[in-house]
Every structure is written in structure tokens, then in C-alpha cells.
Amino acid sequence: MSSMKILVVNPGSTSTKIAVFEGEEKVFAVDVIHDAETLQTFSGILDQLEYRKGMIIERLKEEGYAIEDFDAFSGRGGGLEPCAGGTYGVTPRVVASARKNAFHPAILGPVIVDYFSGITGKPAFIVNPPDVDELQPVARVTGLADICRETRTHTLSHKEVAKRVAAQLGRRYEEMNLIVAHIGGGTSVAAHRAGRMVDSGDLLGGDCPMAPTRPGNLSPGIMVDLCFSGKYEKNDMKDLLRKNGGFVSHFGTSDVLEVMKLIENGDKRAELVFNGMIYQIGKYIGSMAAVLHGKVDAIVLTGGIARSERVVEGLKSMVGFLADFFVFPGELEMEALAAGARRVLSGEEEIAVYTGEPVWNGYEGYEGYEGGESGV
């Protein structure tokens, strides 16, 4: 098992990341860059499938690998109905959902690894897809009868660093209370209780702290005024929530280093806005401590901006009284995708089965809380 060879595939907007793991060691990794003009010739994301598969196979061949060399495949996923966390076997139902909801290149992940599985007869997986929804029922309630809270977050990153902290402490993730913050171009904060993300925001919907590309949680009244101001169409408002807020709105850039240079050069507004971002993240962490009834085993930071000493120290100053901090700067997506497959193959984790049925169908038929504390 220690020498098991796993190919990880993570499609992005302009490239496809691939990595080869032998046991826990990443022995090869590369960003396969896709020509922008070539991508523009495809009418839809699914039309890119053959092009991306071919480039992956060719790049692996250059490094001396054939698809038949691998014991398993793990791909970035998405496009599923809301589901529980875990490592899912790629089945026809998973592939059908991905094909049906192909709104981002990452959704090609399960389709590509399914193709490789078909060639070799070796298993294919997706791990903690962005569709994971483990909210406790009380966290779903809003003051509008036909609206329930949803969550879309950095689940793959959250679960990976949570498991790493548990391992460092000699404990199981499933027996711990953790607050995890992935701090990047978009920032997500979640309360993890007994192996489930029982409360978290909606990164795509704007229920999140301010970040380099996100405005953060705005007053509904402000949003109503913006929507009816005549300045924005529906897609403009979505772009405002997902990519044109935060540092982009204030400074015209999402580059944290550029904003830091402004601060170093004495720009007081840049300093205030940057500190405002830290402040909002701290507020979210504090709210998740309330969700966990103050019983917090650790606070975990990850993502690219977790490299910033200013951010880490600012958050420690604000909420360090709650629990010890653990910091995993940068991205661990490829490692997390390989680790999930490895856990299933070694028998450490039971494979999850995607049913296509959402984990929450609204209030109708709701009969009570399912374990854990209710939060009230």
C-alpha cells in the first residue's frame, strides 16, 4: 500500500493540475497550461474534454508515465446534489451529475478520471467535493419560510487540514471540535464538530468575510438598493459578490502583495481595509465558537493568505483566547485528493456512495435533530 501510485487531476480555468503520488510522497506535479485561444474555440466546458485528456496523457508520457501505470485516480469534482463529506467512488451517477451541471472546468475532474478508470479497470474517486453540505438543521433556518441557508465552501481544504491537526494531536477528526478558516481570494470559515461541518457560510452567495475578491456579508438593504439602482444587471451583481468585491473594489487588484506594498508606503486607507478584512475573519471565527458552545479544540488557518504574518498575528490577537492556532499556509488540494483515495484504498475510510438525493429537502417531513448539539 505504501508504494501505491495515484494520479490526481484538478482542472482549472486555464490549466489542469496533475500530480503523481507514490504512497504519501508527491513525486511529480505540473500545471498543464491550456492555450487561451484554443479554449475559446470550444462552445462549452464539456467540449474541452478530449483536448484536456489528450494533453494530460501526452504530458505524463513525456515524464515516462502511462495511464496503465496507476493504481487509482482522484479528480476534483463538483456539480453534485448537496451531499455529505467523504471520498466518493466515481460512478455513472456522479459522471451524469457532473455532465449535467458543467459550469466550471473542475467538474471535468470526475469525467476525466472515470475515462482513465475505464481504460485500466482501476478505481476512480472524488474527495470532499464543493457540494458537501453538512449543516445542522438549526443552522439552515432563516426568517423567510421558503428560504433555507445553503453552504458552498472550500470543503476539500477544510477537511484536509482538520484531519492533519487531529493527527498532530494524536486524536481522530471525528472526535474533535475545530474552527477552520481558508483564507484566500475568497475566505470561508466553518465549525467542525465530530467530523462534520455543522455551520459555514456560502462563499458564492456572499455569506463570508471580506476577501481580496469578495465584498463580505453586506446588509440586505444595501443589496436591495444596488439591485434596483439601475446600474447593475443580475450577472453584474453575482460578479460583485464573487470576483469584483474586496481589494478589487477598493484598489483594482486582488494581489495581496500589492496591497501590502501600499501599506508599507504609508497608505492609511489600504491599512484600514486590510485590517478590516482581518477583523471580519475574526468575527466569523468568533461566531463559529458560539456554534460550538465555546468548546473549541483548535483554530486552523489555511489558504494562500495564511502565509501573511500580519493576518495570522492579527487573528491570534483577536480570537487567540478561544483555542490554540494551527497554520497550514497555501493550497493542499492535490495532497487532499490523493489522501482521500489512499484512505479508502487502505481501509481507513469507508467509500461514500453518491445517491443523487440532496441531504436536505426543506422543512417538509422534518422530524428532529440528527445527533450533536442543537446550538440553542
The DSSP letter of residue 148 is: -
Average pLDDT over the chain, rounded to an integer: 93
Which residues face 300 on adjacent strands?
180, 326
Confidence of residue 102 (pLDDT cuts 50, 70, 90): confident
Q: Kind of pairing, strands 177-183 and 298-303? A: parallel
CB 180 within 8 Å of CB 153: no
Residue 2's pLDDT is what?
A: 59
Residue 373's pLDDT is what?
A: 53
- 260-290 tens-digit pLDDT: 999 999 999 999 999 999 999 999 999 999 9
Residue 210's pLDDT is what?
A: 96
Residue 1 in this model has a pLDDT that exceeds 80: no
Q: Kind of pairing, strands 298-303 and 325-329? A: parallel
Residue 374 in this model has a pLDDT that exceeds 60: no
CB 317 within 8 Å of CB 325: no
Residue 372 in this model has a pLDDT that exceeds 90: no
Cell of 75: 479528480
Residue 101's pLDDT is what?
A: 86
Residue 99's pLDDT is what?
A: 92
The DSSP letter of residue 362 is: -
- 328-337 tens-digit pLDDT: 999 899 999 9
- Compute the distance between CA of residue 174 and CA of residue 195 in angstroms, rounded to an integer: 4
Confidence of residue 14 (pLDDT cuts 50, 70, 90): confident
Q: Look at residues 117, 40, 35 and name the one whose alpha carbon lies nearest to residue 75.
A: 117
- 74-96 tens-digit pLDDT: 999 889 999 999 999 999 999 99
Average pLDDT score over residue span 107-136: 96
pLDDT above 70 covers what percent of the chain? 97
Residue 228 in this model has a pLDDT that exceeds 80: yes
Residue 369 in this model has a pLDDT that exceeds 80: no
Residue 376 in this model has a pLDDT that exceeds 60: no
Residue 371 in this model has a pLDDT that exceeds 70: no
Return the amino acid letter for 45. I
Using CA atoms, how far residue 356 sits from 124, 131, 140, in Å, is 18, 11, 20
- 162-214 tens-digit pLDDT: 999 999 999 999 999 999 999 999 999 999 999 999 999 998 888 999 999 99
- 244-253 tens-digit pLDDT: 999 999 999 9
Cell of 276: 478590516
Contacts of residues 346-349 at CB distance under 8 Å and 24 or more positions apart, as own/partner, are 346/1, 349/86, 349/87
- 30-67 tens-digit pLDDT: 999 998 889 889 988 999 999 999 999 999 999 999 99
